Structure 1
Amino acid sequence: MSKGSYTYPDHILSIFQSAAAQISRDEQAEAGKSHLEAVPTGQEGLLEAATEVAGVRMQGRVDRKARGPAQDEIVTEALSPIGLAKVCASLGLQYLEAKLKGDQATAERLQSEMADSKCDFRWASTIDQYLRYFGPGGTRAQIPYVTPKRAGETVIQIPSNATIGLIGDWGTGADPARRLLTQVKAQRPDIIVHLGDIYYSGTPQECEANFEEIIDDVFERHKTNIPVYTLAGNHDLYSGGVGYYGLIKRLNKKPFTQPASFFCLRTEDAKWQFLAMDTGLNDYNPFTVNDAVTFVNADEEQWHRRRIEEFGGSTVLLSHHQLFSAFSPIGKADDSAKRAAYNPKLRQTFETLKSLRKPIPAWFWGHEHNLCIYEPYIGLSKGRCVGCSAIPTFVDDDPYDVVEGLNAPPKLVEATKLSVSGNVFSHAFATLSITKQGPIKTRYFEDLNGSCRMRYSESISGD
């Protein structure tokens, strides 16, 4: 599988990848493919090169220093298509950064270099179009967050015997995402919940092509109209959230419309509710991309508190970001290079909700492109990461490598790791089947080269 699907926790690099993906969609559309087919697969030269260049920049290295137009013309004449794509991607990133800094002279020189290097004639203009997704000085644009006051106290009722199909970090638009969704459909879910992240930066075009159209097509929603809900991940908001908020307004008809980036699904018999929290909003630091410790806004936390206070049943929490992890660092290490395995701000939210003395037996999250079924940890019986529904994770980047210096890392339930096929870990999803008389039957499935296999099953009890 191509590494063109690598993603980075940085809004500038993610929007840069989105611009490259737009070129790929345009090229495929011109080749006569339908709009559904004309989505980035990770195989296109410029997109893959842009991903590689973004990775170099993410590591703090400069891939290529700009040279004069005459020298570039000589160099690029002899380049292979792959080599040319890398040059164009590198020039494009430098062009974007110059524009964000307001350095017009450098931007004009780089634009001339792109033309001399025989880059796609739309490359510079596409980057110009994507500048609208930034705030002042290249910051993340202002998010049109729907506050609890605007959202109101409404909950969404779901059947007491519903099955929820749970996917995470799924919005790539690539073939593996479509194939996995077909496997989800085979389990006959009544509701789909996505734990967040539509790649690369949640632009309106990506929300449509990489999420909405594929779900509508696979589930034939013009016939079935299965309710679909999606949480706010960090990638959904990198372009300012305009795509995400437009998406949730039109995904479902009333009374199933998702009112905000947070919501409550409650069974008709009042035995279970699912509280979806917005952790994507605050996963942002303009000065460093890796050390942000996200949290739930105080007024939103109170909204969730009220949902639990008024409810006599059990609550399952949902979020994009993890409460804890053994395999992905959360925040900065201390002076002795040690770090906690949990997010202290989300733990405080959890403690606040637990203080109401109502059952909260499980919390599902994504963000890490992994399947993690943890043993009980810091007062949570079942912490579950299901962020492995589409983004490839390679064997060389072992997702089960415990973070160095982690204090008392959580442990996995035995024999629950994802399988490996070739050099890639499998993709996975979960189903949560609610029963009127008993616990939630939870099953975890993985896609093994097109075959769907149940990896693990368990029950979530409300007691």
Structure 2
Amino acid sequence: MSLASSVEEEFGRMKAQVDGLVARFDLAWKNLRNQLEPKELQAILDLVQRAHDQAQYAIAHGDLPPGQPPVPWELAHGLSVLHLGAAQPLPQSVDQLATQVLKDGSLLGCRKWELLDLKWSEALVAWIENLRDHATFGTTPALLQIPDEVLLDLAGDWGTGYFEPQSAAQRVADLITADQPQVTIHLGDVYYAGTDSDERNNLASWPMGSKASFSLNSNHEMYSGAHGYFDEIQTLFPDQQGTSYFALFNTHWLIIGLDSAYASDEMQLYMDGNLNAVQEQWLSDLMASHGQGRKIILLSHHQGLDITGKTPTALYGQVCKALGNRVPDYWYWGHLHNGIFYAPKTDPQGMGVMNGRCVGHGAIPYGDASELDHAPGVLWSETQKAGDANYPLRVLNGYARVRLQGAQITEQFVSEKGTVRWPLV
């Protein structure tokens, strides 16, 4: 069966599930009305309205509305599908909308995982259900010594599951397994909403390192209050000790994994990275005990720079301050569905030089991001078509291979086909 046929079947099944989503939403909304102030409830409705308007504008113009902050696409179908208003329904099938690539590489279409995939409504419902119900934040971070020569494989936004034969997620997992790395780290995002079943089904095949494996929290895990995430790391990632942040070290390197999602603004669907006071203090203490004389590799779900590499995010400022007014030497993040190798960036306040890397191309289909063309802060981004008949505009998914040999670091961006995409040879 072709993906187009299977998508149509899934669309039919999803239509049958809509009544269930509406019932869940009605119950969650009723409960939330007793917990939130009227202005907060109105803010949610306004956000859903803006998401609907944003989608209509993007369909008509091929870009987001100018001068307005973007709204998470998970909310796009809220007005029509969940009956939050009387809006004209957005396209819901491949026949109604031909896929196009937005300038950030996102695929605006109705296929599975594209921006108007009807099943993103699950994330909206889960967000409402868990807006005031978050898992307990673990505070027993792992501190693990690793060899001076070690291979780490990193992939972000990998949690789609094997949704089609030889899916990108499976290809990436098989390649990581073949690498035989000592450490593997998922940079976060299990879809659609990080629920218990999402975590069990879509993260279960994560390739484990011979010494340790870790998984970061993210906005999608937070849609379900991170309950599924914290349950899953207890069993699948025991090295994390039930905690969403951790550190690895050897003679020359300190590798720090952060939870940039738990303290993120819930009313903005956890889209912007933020650290809580617990992690800020832990980072400061960690630098005092293990930071001296070591280079720093930072790992987070949310990005330290905007997609073009020009503008630091608020998370960047938090991290640098907690590190003792220094930038990490290397920073790997996901969140943006792309593979991007940034040029070294000198901090304007004299805190050092940072090498940023976006490894958010683990599995979600995405296209060639035109806004990265000729961006001075970008040395390379993935532009090669994947040759996928089911997603003709998709470019290659992949992961990062990071080898530490003493004080030296070697980095490779590897495609789902096993080719080294960066550095170019």
Q: 1:151 pairs with 137, 140, 148, which one? A: 140
Task: Tell me the amino acid that sits aligned with residue 198 of structure 2.
Answer: E
Separation in structure 1 between the aligned mates of residue 14 and residue 234 of structure 2, nearest angstrom: 38
Alpha carbons 1:326, 1:411 under 8 Å: kept: no
Match in the other structure for 1:343: 313
Q: 2:384 pairs with 419, 428, 431, which one? A: 419
Q: 1:164 pairs with 138, 152, 158, which one? A: 152
Secondary structure at the residue paired with 2:261?
coil
Change (3 A) 1:227 1:355: closer
Identity %: 25
Matching of residues 348-367 of structure 1 within 5 Å: 348-355=317-324, 360-367=328-335
Matching of residues 196-345 of structure 1 within 5 Å: 196-212=188-204, 214-215=205-206, 226-253=211-238, 256-267=239-250, 270-286=251-267, 288-289=268-269, 293-311=272-290, 312=292, 313-326=294-307, 341-344=311-314
Task: Tell me the amino acid that sits aligned with residue 364 of structure 2.
Answer: I
Q: 2:29 pairs with 97, 101, 110, which one? A: 101
**What CA deviation, in whole Å up to 9, does each residue of 1:330-358 have, x standing for no partner?**
xxxxxxxxxx83322x122233145355x
Alpha carbons 1:370, 1:386 under 8 Å: kept: yes
Change (3 A) 1:238 1:2: farther
Q: Which runs of at least 4 in structure 1 moved beyond 3 Å after TM superposition? A: 1-4, 42-47, 89-96, 256-259, 353-357
Secondary structure at the residue paired with 1:308?
helix
Task: Tell me the amino acid that sits aligned with residue 452 of structure 1.
Answer: G
Q: 1:192 pairs with 184, 191, 194, which one? A: 184
Change (3 A) 1:238 1:351: same
Separation in structure 2 between the aligned mates of residue 273 and residue 191 of structure 1, nearest angstrom: 14
Separation in structure 2 between the aligned mates of residue 101 and residue 46 of structure 1, nearest angstrom: 30
The answer to whether structure 1 residue 140 and structure 2 residue 131 are counterparts is yes
Q: 2:408 pairs with 429, 433, 439, which one? A: 439
Separation in structure 2 between the aligned mates of residue 87 and residue 144 of structure 1, nearest angstrom: 31
The alpha-carbon deviation at position 298 of structure 1 amounts to 2.0
TM-score normalised by the chain length of structure 1: 0.61
Change (3 A) 1:279 1:250: same
Change (3 A) 1:88 1:410: farther
Q: Which runs of 5+ in 1 are unaligned?
A: 5-41, 50-81, 104-109, 111-126, 329-339, 404-408, 459-463
Secondary structure at the residue paired with 1:171?
coil
Task: Tell me the amino acid that sits aligned with residue 254 of structure 2.
Answer: Q
Separation in structure 2 between the aligned mates of residue 309 and residue 425 of structure 1, nearest angstrom: 43
The alpha-carbon deviation at position 168 of structure 1 amounts to 0.6
The alpha-carbon deviation at position 382 of structure 1 amounts to 0.6
Match in the other structure for 2:101: none
Secondary structure at the residue paired with 2:371?
coil
Q: How many positions carry a matched residue from both structures? A: 319
Task: Tell me the amino acid that sits aligned with residue 371 of structure 2.
Answer: D
Alpha carbons 2:281, 2:322 under 8 Å: kept: no
TM-score normalised by the chain length of structure 2: 0.66
Is the radius of gyration larger for structure 1 or structure 2? 1
Secondary structure at the residue paired with 2:284?
helix
Secondary structure at the residue paired with 2:228?
helix
Secondary structure at the residue paired with 1:351?
helix
Alpha carbons 2:338, 2:381 under 8 Å: kept: no
Q: Which runs of 5+ in 2 are unaligned?
A: 32-82, 84-118, 348-352, 388-392
Task: Tell me the amino acid that sits aligned with residue 166 of structure 1.
Answer: L
Alpha carbons 1:372, 1:386 under 8 Å: kept: yes
Separation in structure 2 between the aligned mates of residue 392 and residue 230 of structure 1, nearest angstrom: 21
Alpha carbons 2:191, 2:202 under 8 Å: kept: yes
Change (3 A) 1:86 1:167: closer
Change (3 A) 1:419 1:163: same
Change (3 A) 1:440 1:351: same
The alpha-carbon deviation at position 225 of structure 1 amounts to 5.5
Alpha carbons 2:219, 2:269 under 8 Å: kept: no
Change (3 A) 1:2 1:341: farther
Separation in structure 2 between the aligned mates of residue 194 and residue 368 of structure 1, nearest angstrom: 14
Separation in structure 1 between the aligned mates of residue 260 and residue 175 of structure 2, nearest angstrom: 28
Alpha carbons 2:308, 2:377 under 8 Å: kept: no
The answer to whether structure 1 residue 181 and structure 2 residue 147 are counterparts is no
Alpha carbons 1:309, 1:356 under 8 Å: kept: no
Alpha carbons 2:223, 2:269 under 8 Å: kept: no
Match in the other structure for 1:14: none
